[in-house]
Amino acid sequence: MTLPSGGAGLRFRASKTYNINISLDYAVGRDSEALYFYIGEAF
């Protein structure tokens, strides 16, 4: 079975010195959707 899904995201470098990023992601599936917000170091 195949389940459709999709999403989009934005990334912003908050600090080059400390390598801190801010991200905002939106995901949608057949029966649900989600919004994710993250602040942290880049890996």
Asked if 28 and 6 touch (Cβ cutoff 8 Å), the reply is yes
Residue-range domain boundaries for the chain? 5-37
pTM for this prediction: 0.72
pLDDT for res 3:
86
- Which pairs count as long-range contacts for 36-42, CB under 8 Å and 24+ apart, including other chains? 39/14
| Ordered per-residue pLDDT tens for the chain, 43 residues | 888 899 999 999 999 898 899 999 999 998 899 999 999 986 6
Asked if 15 and 39 touch (Cβ cutoff 8 Å), the reply is no
Place of tokens 């990023």: 21
pLDDT for res 2:
87
CA distance 40 to 13: 10
pLDDT for res 41:
80
